[in-house]
Chains A and B, each alone.
Chain A
């Protein structure tokens, strides 16, 4: 395996609605900041991969215009995944491992405020038996939360405590959208949005973008004083059908964590992309984090949820803490699909 590291990370603020800027206008400052941070422009990278969704944009091939933010002339070697940018980063990492590139740019962007996100996401469900019923994402997650509560896997108090922790942590994150001093009692007093989920159990809808620069071997140490070396990188997909998997645990995260080598050493920081409080608990348990691990110091997805960038940002937040010497070993998680269908785990180390 080649030694590959995250050497740069930038993001836009998560906002409920970007009223004026289109996706390219959101993305350009993010990529310009990455260039300033690393000294390398996106178009100078050996490989470029983006993550976005035409369903959010409501236009086919909308991701092609995203390349305007890169400056794809002379022509560049690039690819796209209709997934979170974390999977774009995975593809870039594979390209480097295969020897096709020494440097790679991965970015994710989304502007879900243009549509009705919970309804749009119904399209990722089984197209024959489930999608025609148009179950929105919050209702689907609510069924999972109810299932877990009825089985006694955790309590509503424990769910609320996740939001209290994440949004409290987010107070020091200038890019976060929802932050502040919440209390378990206060959250439990909120009316149900979709029983048993309250508004604070749900990640916000956010517009935004983020970008990561990868580099191999000596290139990494030339670009970054303290690179975040990728020691493990796995993603696992579970079946789409809700009836054939255990919704009370995230088996995919467990397998990805094991393959990525999460359990072998201490973990200073973990960043989770779970968009609902109950899913955060399931992911935490699946990762098998030690009690001293600091979870979601940035606030995680519950504080800012720019769809298609939120998972990539979790990897970036971990890497940034390693850049600054605040952490030596970190675990980032990204998810995609309903009820934690697909999960990605990335282990980063400062040496």
Chain B
């Protein structure tokens, strides 16, 4: 059926019940000053957050402004580790596009070391082992495949460190 087909036949008096009117609109986005800096850094394997000038909390990823205090962050950046702590998790048993893991897999909210906001990602671990407070680290794509994309991080994986204190992440649950 092309764009101008209708289900009624010309002149037969039956009602037109289908009208196809495809809509294609093209946009040229700018990620914005802050997100652009974040994306250029992640292309080099670096994770940049930004600090709120009002309360000092570190936002990752930064969108250039503090949604709580409505101030811009300026040019200061905070370099973060790719290690963090699992704040919450969920086990997924339905398939989803663009997730390079076989079902069932684990989605996690990770609090990166040095950040005050959580990052949602997936975890490659045994279903029985995952738990709150678990220490994890990002697993990156091969360096030659890095681009200005958060997809440079494939997933997180547990590391051999003692669990984080509950107090250190409780406000992010």
Measured CB to CB, the residues of A under 8 A from B are: 18-22, 24-25, 28-29, 31-32, 41-43, 55, 58, 65, 67-73, 114-116, 119-120, 123, 127-128, 131-132
Does the CB pair B63–A116 fall under 8 Å? Answer: no
Whether the pair B21, A28 counts as a contact (CB closer than 8 A) is: no
List the one stretch of B64-72, B101-109, B155-163 in contact with chain A.
B64-72
Set of chain B residues within 8 Å of A21, measured between Cβ atoms? 30, 32-33
- 8 Å CB contact of A114 from B28, B34, B67: B28
- What are 24 pairs between A and B in contact, CB < 8 Å? A20-B30, A20-B32, A21-B30, A22-B31, A22-B63, A25-B33, A31-B70, A32-B71, A42-B70, A65-B63, A68-B63, A68-B65, A69-B65, A71-B66, A71-B69, A72-B68, A73-B67, A114-B29, A116-B26, A119-B25, A123-B23, A127-B21, A128-B19, A131-B21
Beyond A19-B30, A21-B33, A114-B28, whether A132 also contacts B21 by CB under 8 A is: yes
Q: Which of A65, A70, A123, A132 has the most CB of B within 10 A?
A: A132
Complex CA–CA separation, A69 to B30 (angstroms): 18
B168 proximal to A (CB < 8 A): no
Bound-state Cα–Cα, A72 to B52, Å = 15
The residue in chain A whose Cβ has the minimal distance to the Cβ of B31 is: A22
Q: Are B68 and A71 in contact (CB under 8 A)?
A: yes
CA distance A279 to B32 in the complex (A): 35
A residues in contact with B34, CB < 8 Å:
25
Out of A55, A68, A123, which one reaches B70, CB within 8 Å? A68
* Residues 56-100 of B contacting A (Cβ, < 8 Å): 63-72
Q: Are B70 and A25 in contact (CB under 8 A)?
A: no
CA distance A216 to B63 in the complex (A): 35
Q: Are B3 and A69 in contact (CB under 8 A)?
A: no
What is the predominant secondary structure among interface residues of chain A facing chain B? helix
Mask, B7-19, CB within 8 Å of A = 1, is: 0000000000001
| Cβ-defined contact, B69 with A22, below 8 A | no
Compute how far the CA of A43 lies from the CA of B69 in the bound complex, rounded to whole angstroms: 9
Is there contact, CB below 8 Å, between B67 and A71?
Answer: yes
Which residues of A lie under 8 Å from residue B25 when comparing CB positions?
A: 55, 58, 115-116, 119-120
User: In the complex, what distance in Å separates the CA atom of A123 from the CA atom of B21?
Assistant: 11
* Cβ-neighbour of B32 out of A22, A42, A58, A70 (below 8 A): A22
- Nearest CB of B to A345, in Å: 32
B33–A20 touching, CB < 8 Å: yes
What are the residues of chain A within 8 A of B71 when measuring CB–CB?
28, 32, 71
B30 touches A22 (CB 8 A): yes
- Complexed CA–CA distance, A48 and B21 (Å): 36
The residue on A at minimum CB distance from B68 is A73
In the complex the two chains form, is B32's CB within 8 Å of A132's CB? no
Minimal beta-carbon separation of A165 from chain B (angstroms): 34
A18-B30, A42-B70 given; 14 more Cβ-contact pairs under 8 Å: A20-B32, A22-B30, A22-B32, A24-B63, A24-B64, A25-B72, A43-B70, A58-B29, A65-B63, A72-B67, A115-B25, A115-B26, A116-B25, A132-B19
